[in-house]
Amino acid sequence: MPGIVEESPIEIAIVGGGIIGLCLAAGLIKQDVKVKVYEQAKGFREIGAGMAFTANAIRCMGLMNPDIASALRSGGSVATSLDKDDPNDYLRWTDGYNKRRKDDPTYQPLLYKIDAGYKGFEGTRRDQFLEALVKVIPQDIVELKKRLDTIEEKGPDGRVQLKFTDGTTAVADAVIGCDGIKSRVREIMFGSDNPASYPHYTHKVAYRALVPMEKAIQALGEYKARNQHNHVGPNAHLIHYPVANQTMVNATAFLSDPNEWPDDKVTVMPALRKDLEESFADWNPRLMALIQHFPEKLDKWAVYDTWDFPAPFFNKGVVCLAGDAAHASSPHHGAGACCGIEDALCLVTLLRQVKASLRGGEGSAATKKEALTSAFEVYNGVRRTRSQWLVNSSRRVCDLYHQPEWGHEQKWIKAETCFEEIKDRSLKIWHFDYDGMIKQTVEEYAKKVSSSKAGAANGKANGNGNGTAKVNFYK
């Protein structure tokens, strides 16, 4: 029988032990793929910031490995934006700038509301989710304090070799860079003189604070304080939602900044509440009242993304990028991590197909390297358009929130016409057709494998398709 390939397990190196790296590892384990995660930190980063996942992304987690969704929930996730007596989540936009009623300068109209459905979002603390995720995967697959230095594609036995800055090395069949916005894998892939290797400044800065619920209620009124709201106005917006079981409000103010950021290496700078007060001095008094409860000293975050110089591709041979390493988005859709989860689902799908095609039978002449290369080509084709769209769209909605027109009464009507677009963009994220993605991924991998087999066989008829595995196999 021709074409029988030795069945040694596929070994995948994941660079980066963040949310996407660990979810991907948990998904691959479920497919009996051998995985190692290399994380540069001493432990899993303990950043206490809140993050939310859409119901759609949580379903993607469940398809990869039901334990991921359990980990999210065991971390104490909560729906972020629940109206009283309404099981659905909403996003809400209000006029943050104007005093529309002379008799009540604190009046703010609800400009728009989008229904995200039942448990449309689930919020969690990043550190809590990570901690729970670590428990999902066997302890010995994670190696800490491993900062990637280089990747050598032609390592021992033609496999790929990772070199770390501590002088150690590791070998794998393929490398997936999940090492975030400042990805070293991306830098290696595109070269240090290529602007696509680095994120760039979005010309927006962010100030974050946690405000005790009773103070937030004093400032905003009970309904606004207890429910997510996005206050829009000229060149800035302020978004807040309840956290910690409605005991705190997590508030973030984003300001447009026409200047360059002074240092790409230092994207957080100390700042003063006073600066923020100056920026919002002309805004609706409710916002100024809320800002009074921010700490006097706070951080100013420069928002970076890959909009200016997107990655031209996410794959090179048996190396690929996923999550923020591939497409770092500004946070204005709150969907950056969700998009990384979709990436991971696509990769888990592909590696399952790679295994199936290698298990082989007649005609499966592809080597592991060829199969993995094909898989990552398919991944690039399936994921790049949507994920780069998200980067663009996150910029775009922020521009709409910051329309200068909010500041001119004659232009309010024009400014308010933006919400149909914001709704469409939100629904494109929330209603992602992951079943369609899985189907497309399986089909395109089968096509690629059968065409390279046809090529390898030099015109021989292509018998049964190993790649045409059943679609929707997760169900």
Site string for a copy of itself, 137-176 (x = CB under 8 A): ----------------------------------------
Provide the minimum distance between the beta carbon of 410 and a copy of itself in the complex, in angstroms, as a whole number: 7
Answer for which of 139, 192, 259, 410 binds a copy of itself (CB under 8 A) is: 410
Provide the minimum distance between the beta carbon of 337 and a copy of itself in the complex, in angstroms, as a whole number: 20
Q: d(Cα 177, Cα 172) in Å, to the nearest integer?
A: 13
| Closest CB to a copy of itself among residues 213, 311 | 311
Answer for which of 392, 440, 462, 468 binds a copy of itself (CB under 8 A) is: 392
CA 173 to chain centroid: 25
Residues marked active site are found at: 208, 241
Q: d(Cα 107, Cα 100) in Å, to the nearest integer?
A: 7
Select from 66-74, 118-126, 421-429, 465-473 the region that touches a copy of itself (CB under 8 A): 421-429
CA distances 346 to 184, 193, 350, 471, Å, are 22, 30, 6, 13
Answer for which of 385, 451, 464, 472 binds a copy of itself (CB under 8 A) is: 385
Answer for which of 413, 458, 461, 470 binds a copy of itself (CB under 8 A) is: 413
Q: Which two tokens stand for residue 164?
A: 């770390």
Provide the minimum distance between the beta carbon of 310 and a copy of itself in the complex, in angstroms, as a whole number: 6
| Closest CB to a copy of itself among residues 53, 307 | 307
Answer for which of 128, 202, 393, 441 binds a copy of itself (CB under 8 A) is: 393
| Closest CB to a copy of itself among residues 285, 312 | 312
198 three-state secondary structure: coil
Answer for which of 420, 433, 436, 451 binds a copy of itself (CB under 8 A) is: 420
Burial group, residue 375, by CB count within 10 angstroms (0-12, 13-18, 19+): buried
Per-position DSSP letters for 119-156, written without gaps between them? T-EEEEEHHHHHHHHHHHS-GGGEE-S--EEEEESS-G
Q: d(Cα 386, Cα 428) in Å, to the nearest integer?
A: 10
Provide the minimum distance between the beta carbon of 391 and a copy of itself in the complex, in angstroms, as a whole number: 8
By CB under 8 A, how many residues form the interface with a copy of itself? 24
Helix intervals (H) in 196-335: 213-220, 222-226, 273-279, 285-291
Q: d(Cα 209, Cα 176) in Å, to the nearest integer?
A: 34
Considering only residues 112 to 141 of the shown chain, the ones binding a copy of itself according to CB under 8 A are none
Provide the minimum distance between the beta carbon of 350 and a copy of itself in the complex, in angstroms, as a whole number: 22
Q: Which two tokens stand for residue 426?
A: 């939100």
Answer for which of 308, 317, 447, 456 binds a copy of itself (CB under 8 A) is: 308
Query: By the 8 A CB rule, do 313 and 384 touch?
Result: yes
310 binds a copy of itself (CB under 8 A): yes
| Closest CB to a copy of itself among residues 282, 424 | 424
Q: d(Cα 57, Cα 138) in Å, to the nearest integer?
A: 23
Site string for a copy of itself, 193-232 (x = CB under 8 A): --xx------------------------------------
Question: How long a stretch of residues is the chain?
Answer: 475
Select from 10-18, 391-399, 441-449, 453-461 the region that touches a copy of itself (CB under 8 A): 391-399
Phi, psi of 393 (to 5 degrees): -70, -35
388 binds a copy of itself (CB under 8 A): yes
Handedness of CA 152, 160, 383, 252 (dihedral sign): negative
Q: Which of 359, 348, 374 is nearest to 446 (CA)?
A: 374
CA 110 to chain centroid: 29
Q: d(Cα 451, Cα 454) in Å, to the nearest integer?
A: 5
Provide the minimum distance between the beta carbon of 394 and a copy of itself in the complex, in angstroms, as a whole number: 12
Select from 138-146, 278-286, 359-367, 413-421 the region that touches a copy of itself (CB under 8 A): 413-421
Provide the minimum distance between the beta carbon of 256 and a copy of itself in the complex, in angstroms, as a whole number: 18
Applying CB under 8 A, which residues contact a copy of itself? 195-196, 307-310, 312, 385-386, 388-389, 391-393, 410-411, 413-414, 417-418, 420-421, 424, 428
